[in-house]
Amino acid sequence: MTSLDLYVWAGVVVFLLALHAVVTRAHLLWKVLAINLMGTGVFLILLAAPARRDPMVADPLPQGMVLTGIVVAVAATALALGMALRVMARTGSPFLTVDPETEEPDPDAPEPPR
């Protein structure tokens, strides 16, 4: 197993674990963290794609793209956390209510601010 294999497998495992969490976890904080982690998996795979056969020599192109991606991921995570806080401010619950007609409100949630 080469280091390229290791990076690709690790990236895929991180990505899919986070995808699993995005689908199954209901808490908004977990969803935001999981989406962030999915991006990290993609970065691992991008870094595993050096064009040179010698993996010890850095390929600046994917490194630059990952650097850009990290900054964009930070901005997206901040926006997602802000939206989660906004949901909390509106509904008093850190969970998304899919359909207010059919779904019971969170019994532990504080009263929504009118």
Partner 1 sequence: MMGPSSSHGPGVSSPSPSGDAPTGPDASSPSPLLRDHGERDGPPLLRWLLGLFLVPVGILLALGLKGAAGSRDPRIPDLIAKHLPETGVSNPVTGVLLNFRGYDTLLEIAVLVAAMVAVWSLDRGQRHFGLPASASASGGAGGGRPFLSAILRLAVPTAFLTAVYLTWMGSSEPAGAFQAGALLAGAGVLLSVAGVLRPLTAAALPVRIVAAGGVAGFVVTGIAVLPFTGAFLAYPEGWAYPLILGLEAALAVAVAVILVELFVDVPSIPAHDAALDAVDPYGDPLGRALAPDPSPADPEAP
Please give the structure tokens belonging to residue 59. Answer: 């390929």
Least CB distance from residue 1 to partner 1, whole Å?
11
Task: Considering the complex, state which of residue 60 and residue 101 has its C-beta at the smaller distance from partner 1.
Answer: 60
Q: How far is the CB of 39 from partner 1 (least distance, A)?
A: 13
Neighbours of 33 (CB within 10 A): 18
69 vs 74: CA distance, rounded Å:
9
Binding site for partner 1 (CB under 8 A): 4-5, 8-9, 11-13, 15-16, 19-20, 23-27, 29-30, 45, 48-53, 57-61, 63-65, 67-68, 71-72, 74-76, 78-79, 81-83, 85-86, 88-90, 92-95, 106, 108-114
CB of 49 to partner 1, least distance (A): 4
Q: Hey, what amino acid is at 49?
A: A
Q: d(Cα 84, Cα 73) in Å, to the nearest integer? A: 16
Question: Tokens standing for 78?
Answer: 């901040």
